[in-house]
Every structure is written in C-alpha cells, then in structure tokens.
C-alpha cells in the first residue's frame, strides 16, 4: 500500500512540476509606430471588432500565445467573415496585446510565425488599440465595409487545451501503473 501511495505522490508532484514550468520570454522592442497609411499598406488584415473570447493557446517556439476571437464590425482589408481569430502574446515583454473581452478594437494584423505556426498576429508594435483611442485612424481609413460572410468560430476557438491536459494525466497515470506492476513482479 505504501508503494501505491508513493506512486500517486510521484504522479501528483509530476503534474505540479509540468504545470509550473517556466516559459521562455523575450523582450519586445518597437520603433516608432508607422503612420495609418503605412500600417494599412503593410497589414494583411485591418478590421474593427469586439472581443468575444481570449484563450491561452499553449506553447509555440517557447512562447505561450493567446488566441483572440473577434466579432467583426467593419473591415478595410483582408477580412470577409463576421468572426476572425488572431494571435498575440501574453504581454510582459513578448509583444502581446492585453485584449479585454467585450471591448471593441481597431486591429492591424499580419501573417506571422512569431508565436508558433503561421497565423494572423497583432502585437504592440502595430497600431492595434481600443477603437475609442483611434479616432484619427478611423478618420483616415474612412468607412469600412461590413463582413460579407456570417460564420461562427466559437467552437474552433474553444481549442483543445482541456484535451491536452487529459493526455498528460493519462500519460502520467500510465507511468505510475507501469511502476506499480513492475514492483508487484519484483516482489514475486
């Protein structure tokens, strides 16, 4: 019985160590923000929209980026659908933007592998900000167009981090069971 308790203690400590492991971060340094015209030219997507949900995506290139689901209000470039998912960092030196659920933003995004696989990314070095703070940008951009295609990306955005944790727990449990069976064989 003591061995079983030890193995489960081992599993528990292993789970704590896995969840408490530090992540790699790097400092973010930006030059002066580009003009509205320059940002529009270089961006792959420019839109305004309300944040529906924000979730941590997991690990990618040493970073733990966030995935942000937007309900698109207007689009100026590269966005046709009523919802879009972009990626940003966690903040605190990795260039991430602290998007808040329910807030409306004007977003400038580019295709990038900065946080792992290629996705639309917006960072603090872009002009992205709360729409209330970017009235000058809106005046220069003019009237945007409403999205043409209605979509619901909420299921896609909910992600699989829950399933990843289940796989980790199963793997740790399998290791524990292996050691329990091995110790039983050694006693015989």
pLDDT of residue 15: 66
Domain ranges of the chain: 36-157, 158-188
Burial class of residue 182 in the structure, from the number of CB atoms within 10 Å of its CB (0-12 exposed, 13-18 middle, 19+ buried): exposed
Please write the tens of the pLDDT for every residue from 76-87. Answer: 999 999 999 999
Q: Check residue 178 and give its pLDDT.
A: 74
Residue 77, pLDDT score: 95
pLDDT at 62: 46
**Per-residue model confidence (pLDDT) at position 61:** 44
Residue stretches of the chain with pLDDT short of 70: 1-2, 4-5, 8-10, 12, 14-27, 57-64, 92, 159-167, 187-188
Q: Note the pLDDT of residue 113.
A: 84
CATH pick for 36-157 out of 3.40.50.720, 2.40.50.120, 1.10.10.10, 3.40.50.300: 2.40.50.120
Q: Which of 152, 160, 127 is nearest to 52 (CA)?
A: 152
pLDDT for res 12: 66
The pLDDT value given to residue 109: 94
Tokens (6 digits) for 119: 């996705």
Q: Please report the beta strands in 57-139, taking only residues with DSSP state E, as ranges in sequence order.
A: 66-77, 83-88, 104-112, 119-121, 129-130
The torsion of the CA quartet 155, 160, 163, 168, rounded to 10 degrees, works out to -170
Chain centroid, CA 49 distance in Å: 17
What are the structure tokens assigned to 60, written together?
């990618």
């Amino acid at each position: 019985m003591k061995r079983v308790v030890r193995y489960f203690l081992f599993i528990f400590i292993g789970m704590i160590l896995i969840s408490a492991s530090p992540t790699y971060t790097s400092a973010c340094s930006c030059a002066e923000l580009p003009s509205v015209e320059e940002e529009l030219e270089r961006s792959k997507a420019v839109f305004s929209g309300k944040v529906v949900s924000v979730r941590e995506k997991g690990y990618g290139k040493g970073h733990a980026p966030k995935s942000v689901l937007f309900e698109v209000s207007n689009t100026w470039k590269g966005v046709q659908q009523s919802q879009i998912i972009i990626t940003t960092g966690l903040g605190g030196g990795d260039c991430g933007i602290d998007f808040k659920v329910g807030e409306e933003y004007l977003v400038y995004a580019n295709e990038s592998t900065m946080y792992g696989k290629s996705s639309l990314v917006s960072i603090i070095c872009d002009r992205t900000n709360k729409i209330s703070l970017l009235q000058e940008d809106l005046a220069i951009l003019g009237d945007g167009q409403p999205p043409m295609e209605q979509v619901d990306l909420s299921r896609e955005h909910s992600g699989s981090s829950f399933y990843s944790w289940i796989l980790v727990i199963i793997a740790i449990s399998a290791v524990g069971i292996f050691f329990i069976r091995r110790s039983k064989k050694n006693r015989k």
